[in-house]
């Protein structure tokens, strides 16, 4: 739990996460931020309450005869799950589920300029990837064809809009072109979700791009 998070989820994202209309990769990124951010989690509670009130006041579609007995019979077959303690580690629990372990279990692939990535398995509507950016390195200027959410898991980066540190989420739309630069100190590790196919190879020019050692 981090108290010094400065960049939070928008109402639009929280409402869509609560309503269940986000693609899986965005759900994962939102869930990872919520795991680190008390204030967004509290706001999510409010949006879930809206869903509860709408359900409670919503239209009925009558159930067929015997459906209650059938549900009860099914319920009685099921064991009551213990509140399973999830694996703890430096990463938020939802990410550990997707990686199948902590950072040491990530299967990184180099994508050039010292930057490494690992694509996480989600459904096809959007892509989630972990990015490892060496301290001081710049990710060359790139635009976005859709929406990109970037959650900082370790280290920090800055671009023309602001500085993003652990727990911060950057929400970039098609209008943003930016050159994120990882700060010196720790390497920067981020979770990035995009809803348009991102041509990562185009992102990183093949020609040598010197690291910005500050």
Partner 1 sequence: MLSTIDTARHDLASMTGPLAARRAMCGALFMQTSGKIPVPPNRQSENSRWTACITRIRDSSDEAAFAELFEHFAPRIKGYLMKSGAGATLAEECAQDVMATLWQKAHLFDPSRASAATWIFTIARNRRIDALRKSRRPEPEEVYWGPQESPDQADILAMEEAAVELTRAIAALPAKQKTLIEAAYFNDLSHSEIADQTGLPLGTIKSRIRLALDRLRHAMK
The interface with partner 1 within residues 68-97 (CB under 8 A) comprises 68, 70-72, 74-76, 78-81, 83, 86, 92-94, 97
Structure tokens at 194: 């995009």
Work out how close the CB of 2 gets to partner 1 at its nearest, in angstroms, rounded to a whole number.
12
Nearest CA among 40, 44, 46 for reference residue 168:
40
Does 22 participate in binding partner 1 (rule CB under 8 A)? yes
Nearest CA among 213, 89, 86, 97 for reference residue 153:
89
Count the residues of the shown chain that bind partner 1, applying the rule CB under 8 A.
84
Map the footprint of partner 1 across residues 42-71, applying CB under 8 A: 42-46, 48-64, 67-68, 70-71
Residues 6+ apart with CB under 8 A from 57: none
Map the footprint of partner 1 across residues 124-183, applying CB under 8 A: 125-126, 146-147, 149, 171-175
Q: At what angle do helices 38-56 and 11-19 cross, to 10 degrees?
A: 50
Nearer to partner 1, 48 or 187 (CB): 48
Map the footprint of partner 1 across residues 92-121, applying CB under 8 A: 92-94, 97-98
Work out how close the CB of 116 gets to partner 1 at its nearest, in angstroms, rounded to a whole number.
23
CA distance 192 to 16: 18
Work out how close the CB of 31 gets to partner 1 at its nearest, in angstroms, rounded to a whole number.
4
Q: From the list 130, 182, 195, 200, which residue makes contact with partner 1 (rule: CB under 8 A)?
A: 195
Does 187 participate in binding partner 1 (rule CB under 8 A)? no
**Burial letters 34-51, b for 16+ CB under 10 A, else e:** bbbbeebeebbeebeeee
Residue spans of alpha helices (H) in the chain: 11-19, 24-36, 38-56, 67-77, 93-99, 200-203
Nearer to partner 1, 93 or 111 (CB): 93
Q: Which residue has the tokens 């409010």?
A: 46
Nearer to partner 1, 60 or 213 (CB): 60
């Amino acid at each position: 739990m981090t108290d010094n998070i400065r960049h939070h989820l928008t109402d639009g994202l929280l409402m869509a996460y609560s309503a269940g209309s986000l693609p899986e990769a965005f759900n994962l990124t939102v869930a990872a931020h919520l795991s680190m951010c008390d204030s967004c989690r509290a706001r999510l509670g409010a949006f879930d309450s809206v869903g509860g009130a709408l359900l409670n006041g919503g239209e009925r579609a009558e159930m067929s005869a015997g459906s209650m007995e059938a549900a009860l019979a099914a319920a009685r077959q099921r064991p009551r799950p213990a509140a399973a303690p999830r694996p703890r580690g430096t990463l938020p629990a939802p990410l550990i589920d997707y990686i199948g372990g902590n950072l040491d279990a990530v299967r990184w692939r180099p994508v050039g300029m010292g930057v490494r990535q690992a694509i996480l398995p989600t459904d096809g509507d959007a892509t989630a990837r972990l990015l490892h950016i060496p301290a001081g390195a710049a990710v060359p200027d790139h635009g976005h064809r859709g929406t990109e959410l970037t959650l900082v898991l370790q280290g920090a980066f800055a671009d023309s809009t602001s500085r993003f540190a652990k727990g911060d989420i950057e929400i970039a739309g098609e209008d943003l072109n930016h050159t994120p630069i990882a700060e010196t100190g720790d390497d920067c590790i981020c979770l990035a979700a995009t809803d348009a196919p991102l041509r990562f190879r185009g992102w990183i020019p093949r020609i040598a791009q010197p690291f910005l050692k500050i």
